[in-house]
Amino acid sequence: MRVAFQGERGAYSEAAALALLGPEIEPIACPSFDGVFAAVENGDCQRGVIPIENSLGGSVHQNYDLLLRHSLHIVAELNFRVRHCLIAMPGVRKEAVRRVYSHWQALAQCEGYLTRLGVETAPFYDTAGSVKALAEEGRTDSAAIASRRAAEFYGLEVLEEGIEDDPENYTRFLVLAREPQPLDDGDGPLKTSIVFSVTNHPGALFRAMAAFALRDIDLTKIESRPLKGRPWEYVFYMDFVGSAQTGPGKRALDQLAETATLLRVLGTYRRSE
């Protein structure tokens, strides 16, 4: 199975893809999130893996917008523990490091550690990409922050692991496919993702939420995003516990459909603990 992900080989997205779909997959690196969606949509890849939110950094808004723009389906999720590593050329000691490269989010998540280390930081386009560049340049006064897998892939050494300031650092990844995966409550704990919009008048969002509250459905996420081409109007992305095909979830969606100006089920899939 060919699985698209954004970033260089060794990226956290690649590690999440392997954890979700198994070591037999063929990971396909894409330069952008748009490229991941396109690779799945045009059939070059059977699956795509994207980050949708981080427990420290929040939502990946670009991917919410792409979910609406494309017609793919969410078929799985994974809450992936992110462990940042300080990575350098073989033989380099931590005391010799003067500058550290990585994606700006990784640098921010390790800010306290880097301050204590007393180094200069330099934002890079990708965590794994910073390791790849370090390996190509062979600099012995610099290091990168990325995954252990990135260090192994490019032949570099891990100087220290688990350098993030907050150990509760998780990224939620989604698996995308061209076709939905039919599941019901007998398949274990399920989650459903939807996107909807309502008319802009008093109580409209309250009535939309009431369809779920009246059935004691647990809402795990709600996110608003601007509706492109319609200033000051919004769409709402929502996750709830349950299935879109059966039971209370289906009845809640039937009720929401009566008032929503847009309603689309993005997918029902097994819930990641």
Of 146, 177, 208, the position where a domain reaches its end is 177
The neighbouring-strand residues paired with 17 are none
Query: Which residue segment(s) compose the domain that 228 sits in?
Result: 185-270
Closest residue by Cα to residue 79 from 270, 217, 265, 240: 270
Query: Contact 3/75 with Cβ under 8 angstroms?
Result: no
* Residue 50 and residue 93 share a domain: no
Cα–Cα distance, 241 to 157 (Å, whole number): 42
Catalytic residue among 5, 33, 121, 171: 171
**Where among 161, 195, 222 does a domain terminate?**
161
One domain for residues 48 and 149: no
| Amino acid 182: pLDDT | 77
Query: Tell me, what's the pLDDT at 239?
Result: 97
| 189 and 250, same domain (yes or no) | yes
Query: Residues 50, 8: one domain?
Result: yes
Task: Judge whether 199 counts as a catalytic residue.
Answer: no
pLDDT value for 208 = 94
Co-location of 6 and 69 in the same domain? yes
What is the separation of C-alpha 92 from the centre of its chain, rounded to a whole number of angstroms?
33
> pLDDT value at position 230?
83
Count of the separate structural domains present in the chain = 3
Same-domain check for residues 77 and 53: yes
pLDDT given at position 187? 67
Residues 5, 124, 153, 173: which is the catalytic one? 173
Q: Name residue 133's amino acid.
A: A
Query: Within 61-183, where are the H helices?
Result: 61-69, 104-109, 111-117, 127-137, 148-153
Together in a domain, 151 and 114: yes
For the chain of 273 residues, list the mean pLDDT of each consecutive stretch of 10: 96 95 96 97 97 90 95 96 96 95 93 95 94 95 95 96 93 96 76 94 92 96 90 93 93 96 95 88
Half-sphere exposure of 129 (CA within 13 A, CB side): 17
Q: Note the pLDDT of residue 209.
A: 94
The answer to whether the beta carbons of residues 272 and 78 sit under 8 Å apart is yes
Catalytic annotation present for 173: yes
Same domain, 43 and 173: yes
In 94-246, at which residue ranges do the beta strands (DSSP E only) sit? 99-102, 120-123, 142-146, 157-161, 170-177, 190-197, 219-226, 234-241
pLDDT score of 151: 96
Query: What CATH number does residue 207 fall under?
Result: 3.30.70.260
- 0.85 cut: is pTM over it? yes
Pairing verdict, β 219-226 and 73-81: unpaired
Using CA atoms, how far apart are residues 156 and 189, in angstroms rounded to an integer? 40
Residue 42 CA neighbour count, 13 Å, CB half: 8
